[in-house]
Amino acid sequence: MTILVTGATGTVGRNVVEQLVNRGADVRALVRDPAKAGFAAGVDVVQGDLLDVDSVRAAMAGVSTLFLLNAVVADEYTQALIALNVAREAGIERIVYLSVIHSDLYVNVPHFAGKFGVERMIERMAMGATILRPAYFMDNELTIKDVVTGYGIYPMPIGARGLAMIDARDVGEIAALALIRRERSASPLPLDRINLVGPDTLTGAGAAAVWSEVLGRTIAYSGDDTAAFEQSLRQFMPGWMAFDMRLMAERFLSDGMLPEPGDADRLTAMLGRPLRSYRDYVRQTAG
């Protein structure tokens, strides 16, 4: 009984693999470059690409449970549908899919809309799956650490509605628990959706205040200029992706990423411990 992890070399994927290994699961990791995998001994590393149907078929041979994670790329939706169709062809009835919170609300944001389309396929084709819907990753703050510490500003335009930020380590552990639950079930379990949120809902000003407290000096929130945010991102990512991120930020401003009642309590019960806090994450990152 083997669990296949896609997106295994990314931040979340590595956490999923580690958590599964720690729990004694048989893990296969689908990667583009095995030389960069660096997983624990015992992890079956297979080379492939989600657009290469033959390699996906080979990776899924003998697999009982699938963790599907697709990176934010231009053909993300196609990759996901190929993977799910091949999984169905291979008889895999136990799936955990990493979607995103409010995928049904952020309808104009390309990578959100794509994930909602994948959710719709899973539901309409009656595939046994847990759909994980994470909010904004605290780990995104690594990309702005130098700006915060070097220039004294918090530059992410996340607005005043608030984001229930979650640590990717918590995402990985919850995903592993969901995978093992499905893997060890005597029969395929019904569809389930879980919002993945942190214990704190952060606004732009609130996040800046946490950085100020941790660093011991004033960090200012730079404001809600999403056009400037897009232009900044275009320096190190394709224009289509920068525009996608701008559209997402605009929905942060209008809608936020707010948890539903009971979300955090459900996750705390699953983990058997408190969720990691934003303040602790910033302290570790700044350290």
Contact 102, 164 (CB under 8 A): no
pTM surpassing 0.95?
Answer: yes
Contact 192, 38 (CB under 8 A): no
Q: What is the mean pLDDT of residues 78-86?
A: 98
- Tracing tokens 């029969």 back to the chain, one arrives at 187
Whole-number percent of the chain with pLDDT over 70: 100
Q: What is the mean pLDDT of residues 65-87?
A: 97
pLDDT score for 1: 83
CB atoms within 10 A of CB 189: 15
Q: By C-alpha distance, which of 84, 86, 70, 81 is closest to 129?
A: 84
Strand partners, 194: 132
Query: CA of 145: how far to CAs of 72, 139, 283, in Å?
Result: 22, 10, 11
Alpha-carbon distance of 211 to 176, in angstroms, equals 31
pLDDT score for 218: 98
- H or E stretch including 98? strand 94-98
pLDDT tens for each residue of 21-63: 999 999 999 999 999 899 999 999 999 999 999 999 999 999 9
CB atoms within 10 A of CB 43: 19
Instruction: Tell me how many helices (H) and strands (E) the chain has.
Output: 11, 9
Q: What is the mean pLDDT of residues 183-209?
A: 97
Confidence of residue 240 (pLDDT cuts 50, 70, 90): very high
- Mean pLDDT, the chain, rounded, equals 97
